[in-house]
Amino acid sequence: MLETHNHADHVSGHGRLVAATGARIHVHRLADPAYEHEPFEDGWELQLGSLAVRALHTPGHRPEHTAFLLIDTTRGDDPWAVLSGDSLFVGDVARTDLAVEQAEGARQIFRSVHERLLTLPGDCELWPAHLGGSICGGPGMDMKICSTVGYERQHNPTLAIADEEEFVAQALARLGPQPPNFEKIVALNRGPLLTSGVEAPALYPHQVQLKRDEGALLVDVRTDLQFDDVHIHGSICIPSFSSGFGSKLAWLADHDREIVFIGRDDADGRRAAKLALSVGVRNVAGLLAGGMTNWRQERHAVTQTERVAAADLLGRLAQEPELQLLDVRELREWNAGHVPGSVFTPWHDITGIPHGLDPTLPIAVICAAGVRAATAASLLTHHGATRVIHVIDGGVPLLAQNGVRLESSADVPDDVPA
């Protein structure tokens, strides 16, 4: 099997694949893993019948990162496709701060893209490793699964930056927060092969209560609207069928604290446990047997989260002067424009009641669309806020479309958090 790099966002399945098939792992020599492998250099080729797979060293995301060219030797010498891994994406390029100093990583990715990938034929198919929303790329990543080198050369705005220093400056300005466990994930991927999973036993409701009393984190993996309608008090909303579940879980999970997954049924819990394993979260105490249906059938206590559509939020703010507004987007989004008077704390930084909020008064939680707000709202309740409102069906951009004049970071006084 071929590895593009030591992954920082998920645990590789290479250990289980080796255990199941006896395959040998090939990876660039700079990866320097502890497991048995075959190291290669730039230009190394693997011949599979008429298909030649050629290694193209493309550092930047990580020093060892390698893309793979696919060449049909019966038809010509030019590659017909490139498996670009975490280097060039549809609509953007990879982030550059998960292995090396971020400015140096940006310079490396600039050279890898302009001197290597963009020199490929324009009709060469581009197949990256991630879609939009991945923490491994920039905010311009598209949800399309593939493109061509020529199309990206013409339409990818990041590739239009021809000056290296300008590229570096913009790359650093667009960086999101680093996932807190990426170094642990890299260490797992470089270390001895992981060949086993984690057992997630089904726990009866009284056992879940006991785990909660002992300090376990209850993670509800149903949809945000299902969570709003009914959930166990103190549980955290992280929908498992939405993109980014693993990243959110990794951000909020304390690796010394047990986790219990709450789903619609056992299948939801088992699926969440597998996704947790993929991001290095292994301290899983179990799942709620029978899901929330079983919890309610046994008449255990439940609670709800109030919600309001973004289109109706202005009316609520006008009618309820005590209503506080918490913006849980990322810093670059806040800087670009936010509702005057709102409080700012990114969802993943909510470790208590944010400064500037009164937990005894109502708090409306807003993001760009409503998904991050769901998690943030559950965190506020978890930390003791008494009346939290989840803003759904839109967020700050929709308010701007409806006539709200947003403040940018340049408009904000020095004492307002940014």
20 within domain boundaries? yes
3-state helix, strand, coil in the chain (%, to 5): 35, 20, 45
5 within domain boundaries? no
Residue 144 and residue 65 in one domain: yes
6 within domain boundaries? no
Q: Which residues is 389 bridged to in the sheet? A: 306, 364
DSSP 200-241: --EE-HHHHHHHHHTTPEEEE-S-HHHHHHSB-TT-EE--TT
Residue 24 and residue 109 in one domain: yes
Domain count of the fold of the chain:
3
Residue 26 and residue 104 in one domain: yes
Residue 265 is which amino acid? D
Residue 19 and residue 127 in one domain: yes
* CATH classification of the domain holding 216: 3.40.250.10
Residue 310 and residue 263 in one domain: no
* Contact (Cβ atoms closer than 8 angstroms) between residue 60 and residue 69: no
* Contact (Cβ atoms closer than 8 angstroms) between residue 164 and residue 158: no
* CATH classification of the domain holding 51: 3.60.15.10
Residue 165 and residue 208 in one domain: no
Residue 132 and residue 66 in one domain: yes
Assign residue 220 a region (left: φ > 0; alpha: ψ between -120 and 50; beta: otherwise): beta
* Angle formed at CA 217 by CA 352 and CA 390, multiple of 5 degrees: 55
pLDDT by residue for the chain (418 residues), tens only, comes to: 999 998 877 778 888 888 889 899 999 999 999 999 999 999 999 999 999 999 999 999 889 999 999 999 999 999 999 999 999 999 999 888 777 788 998 999 999 999 999 999 999 999 999 888 777 777 788 889 999 999 999 999 999 999 999 999 998 888 877 777 777 788 888 888 877 666 789 999 999 999 999 999 999 999 999 999 999 999 999 999 987 898 899 889 877 899 999 999 999 999 999 999 888 888 899 999 999 999 999 999 999 999 999 999 999 999 999 999 999 999 989 999 999 999 999 999 999 999 999 999 999 999 999 999 999 999 999 999 999 999 999 999 999 999 999 999 754 444 333 3
Residue 18 and residue 92 in one domain: yes
Residue 185 and residue 219 in one domain: no
User: What is the span of the domain harbouring residue 348?
Assistant: 306-411
Residue 180 and residue 221 in one domain: no
Residue 74 and residue 130 in one domain: yes
Give just the sign of the alpha carbon dihedral 127, 130, 136, 137. Answer: positive
4 within domain boundaries? no
Residue 170 and residue 40 in one domain: yes
Sequence-distant (≥ 6) Cβ neighbours of residue 18 within 8 angstroms: 1, 24, 25, 193, 195
What is the spatial distance between Cα 223 and Cα 238, in angstroms, rounded to a whole number? Answer: 8
